[in-house]
Amino acid sequence: MKIRFAADILRRLGEELNPSIDRGILELVKNSYDADALMCTVELANADQPGGHIVIKDDGDGMTSHDIEDGWLVLGRSIKEQRTRTRLGRVPAGNKGLGRLAALRMGSRVLLTTRPRTEKASEYNLLIDWDEYKGVELVDDVLLNLEPEPRRTGDKHGTEIQIENLRSKIGRREVKRLAREMLLLADPFGDDPKGFKPILKAPEFEDLEALVQNRYFQDADFHLIAKIDKDGRVSAQVLDWRDAILYSADHDELASKKNKLRYACPELTFELWTFLWRTSSFVARSAPMKDSKAWVEAFGGVHIYQNGLRVTPYGDPGNDWLDMNLSRVRSPEERPSTNNSIGRVLFNDAGSLLVQKTDRSGFIESDTFLEIRDYAQDALDWMAGRRMEEAQKRREHEKAEVTSKTAETRRQSDAAMEDLPKEAKETIKKAFRDERDAVDKEIQHYQQEIQLYRTLSTAGITSATFAHESAGNPIKVIDQSIATVERRARTHLPEVYESQLKKPVDRIKGATGSLSVLGKATLKLLDHEKRRPARVEIHEVIDKVLGTYAPFLDPRHIAVDAQYCDASPYLRGSEAAVESIVTNLINNSVAAFERSENKERKILIKTEVTNGYLRLRVADSGPGIEEISKREIWLPGRTTRKNGTGLGLTIVRDTVKDLGGEVDAIEHGEFGGAEIFIQLPILGV
C-alpha cells in the first residue's frame, strides 16, 4: 500500500502555486539561473492571443537522464537540495521543485531539449502532452519517453523548453511584469562577466523588450552608497551625477541618533539612485528624461539581493518596504520615493541568518532583517537631512538677498526724493507711501492665501498618511484574505461560490480597490516634481488622472467619455496645475452624483483647439448647479455639499487664471448636470 496522486493534482498545484503567467515563466528562468547559465532567452511568439507559444533557452549546464528522471520530473524534490552553491558559486533560487510545474501547465504541450555539460556527445528530448492526463485517474498512469540522441557538432550545453498552444494570451501587463522581473532576477546594476543576463524577445511588445536591456543609472542626480562592514560599523556618501562627492558620514554621525555601537546584521551595501526629473538637468545627460522615467517606473523601488539573487517581493510595485513614500508624505521636500528612485541592498548570507517565508513572500522579519531595514532607513534620513540643510541655506540666502535689495531700493528712492523741489517732494512721497501700503496689503492677502493652502496641505498630508498606512497593511491583508477565500471557494465549493459568495466577494474587492485609489491619488498629487514649470502635454495629464481614478469610478458605474481633438496640445506650466484642474472637476462630478437620482452616471471630457487656445469642456449627468448661484460657485467655502470644503472650483478658477486662461460654467449642460468650460493658451499642437 502507498500514497498515490490523482491526475487532477497537476492542475490544482499548477494554478495555486503560480496563478500569474509572468510568475510561471520566471520560475523557468530561475531554473536557468540555477543551472549556471550566463544567458537565458525568453521568446514569446504570438503570445498576445491563445494558441501562441513560449521558448525558454539557456546556455547552462543542462541535465543528464538522471537529473531529469530523479529531479526534474519528481515534484517536491529538487536536485538543488543536494548543494548549497552552484558550480559558479550561485545560491540556488529555490529547493521545492514545484515552481516549474505551474509554468509547464501554461500550454497543452511541452518539449524539453537538454544537452548536459558533462556529456559532450548527448542530448535528451522529452515531450509532455497534458491532454493525456485528462483521461486517466492517477498521475503515474501516463508513461513518458525520454529519448537520448547524439548531439550535433557545435551544439553547446544548455536547455531549451518549448511551451506550445498557450491556454491564455499573455497581455501587456504580464509582459511588463516579466520584463521587470527578468532584469531584476539577476543583478541589473552591474556587468559581472559571470553574471546572469536574461533576454526577452517579444515582437508584439518591442518597447517592453527594450526595457530588459536599457539602464540609466548614470543620469541620476544623486547616488547614495551606504555600507555596513564586518564589524557592524557603518558609513555613507552621496555622489552627484558626475560622481563628485556631495556629502559623507562615518559611523559616529550615522549611528548617533540611535546610539548604536554596531548594527547586528551581515556585511552589506545599500545603494540608491535618485532622479529629480528636471528638464533642464537632462540637457547634458545620456538619454531623454522620458526614457529614464519609463525605466524607473518599471524598475523603481529598493530591491534586496541575497547571495547575488533578488528576493521578491522587495521593490515590487506596491512593496515599499522602507516606507519611502510614507516618509515623503510626512515631509515631501528633498525625500526620495519609489517613483523617482531605484536601489538595492546587497549582502552575502552564508550563515543563513535570513530565512525566506514558505510562500516566498519575503523574509521572516527576524531581528537581523529589522536591523537591515533600520540602517537603510537611517541612511535615507541622513541623506534627506543633508539635502534639506542645503535647501534651507539656499532659501535663507535668497530671502536675505531679496530683503537686502528691497531695503537698498527704498534707501535709494528716499535719497533721490531729498533732492527734489519741496512742492514735488511731498506729492511723490505720498505716492510712494500709497504704493507701499498697497504692496503691504497685497502681501498680507497672499500670506492669508498661503495659510489657507498650508491648511489644505496639512489636511492632504494627513489624508495621505492614513491612506498610505491603510494601503500598506489593512487593505493588503483584506486583499490577500479575500483572494484566498475566493480561490478556495472556487475549488471546494464551486456551486455555492457562484450562487452565494461571488457577489459579496466582488463587492469587497471593488471596495478595497476604491480605498487604494485614495492613497495613490493623494500621493501622486503631493509629488513636488510635478510642480516644476515645464512643457505639459494636456491629453497625457488627463489620461493619467483618469487612470488613477478608474478603480474608484468603475465600481460606482461612472462612465467617462474622453473625446480629444486630433492634435496633441501642450502648454508651458506645471503638470500639477493641469492635474489639479482635471482632478477637482472629476471630484465635483462624483460629489454631484451623490445628490442625483439619475442612475446613468456619465462624465464627458472634451477638448478642442482654436486660434492658439485649448477649449476644455467637462460635463456630467448630475443634478446641475442648484441652491447656489453660478457666480458663487467660484468663491472659497461656498458649497451645497454636506461636509464639503467649497474649495474645488476656487482652485480650478485660480489655477486657470494663473495659466492665463478663462473659466465659465452653465447650470445644466448637455447631460443635464453642470458643465464647465475652460480656455487655456497653448504653445502648440
**Helical pair 367-418 and 422-472, crossing angle rounded to 10 deg:** 170
What pLDDT is stored for residue 81 in this prediction?
A: 47
User: What are the distances in angstroms from CA 49 to CA 29, 105, 365, 428?
Assistant: 22, 17, 41, 80
Q: For the stretch 10-29, what's the b/e string if a residue is b when 16 or more beta carbons lie within 10 angstroms of its beta carbon? A: beebbeebbeebbbbbbbbb
Instruction: Determine the Cα–Cα distance for residues 191 and 54; give it in Å rounded to an integer.
Output: 27
195-204, 276-285, 541-550: which range is least confident on average?
276-285
* Residue 490, amino acid: R
Tens digit of each residue's pLDDT (9 = 90 or more) over 466-518: 555 555 567 777 877 888 888 888 888 888 888 888 888 888 887 776 666 66
Longest dimension (CA), the chain: 121
Place of cell 543633508: 386
With 70 as the cut, is the pLDDT of residue 330 above it?
no
Inter-residue long-range contacts of 471-478, CB under 8 Å, 24+ positions, other chains counted = 471/318, 471/515, 471/516, 471/519, 471/520, 472/320, 472/323, 472/326, 475/512, 475/515, 475/516, 478/508, 478/512
Residue 458 to residue 645: CA distance in whole angstroms: 14
Is a pLDDT exceeding 60 seen at residue 595? yes
> pTM (2 decimals)?
0.48
C-alpha–C-alpha distance, residues 108 and 113, integer Å: 17
Q: Model confidence at 274, in pLDDT bands (50, 70, 90)?
A: very high
Tens digit of pLDDT for each residue in 185-207?
Answer: 655 566 556 778 888 998 888 87
Per-residue pLDDT, 227:
95
The proportion of the chain whose per-residue pLDDT surpasses 90, expressed as a percent, equals 23
**486/497 Cα distance (integer angstroms):** 8
Which pLDDT tens digit goes with each residue over 29-46? 888 988 999 999 999 988
Query: Backbone phi, then psi, for 341, in 5-degree steps?
Result: -140, 155
Q: Where is mean pLDDT largest: 33-37, 355-359, 438-442?
A: 33-37
Determine which helix (DSSP H) or strand (DSSP E) holds 304, and give its type and residue range: strand 301-306
Euclidean distance between CA atoms 300 and 482, whole angstroms: 28
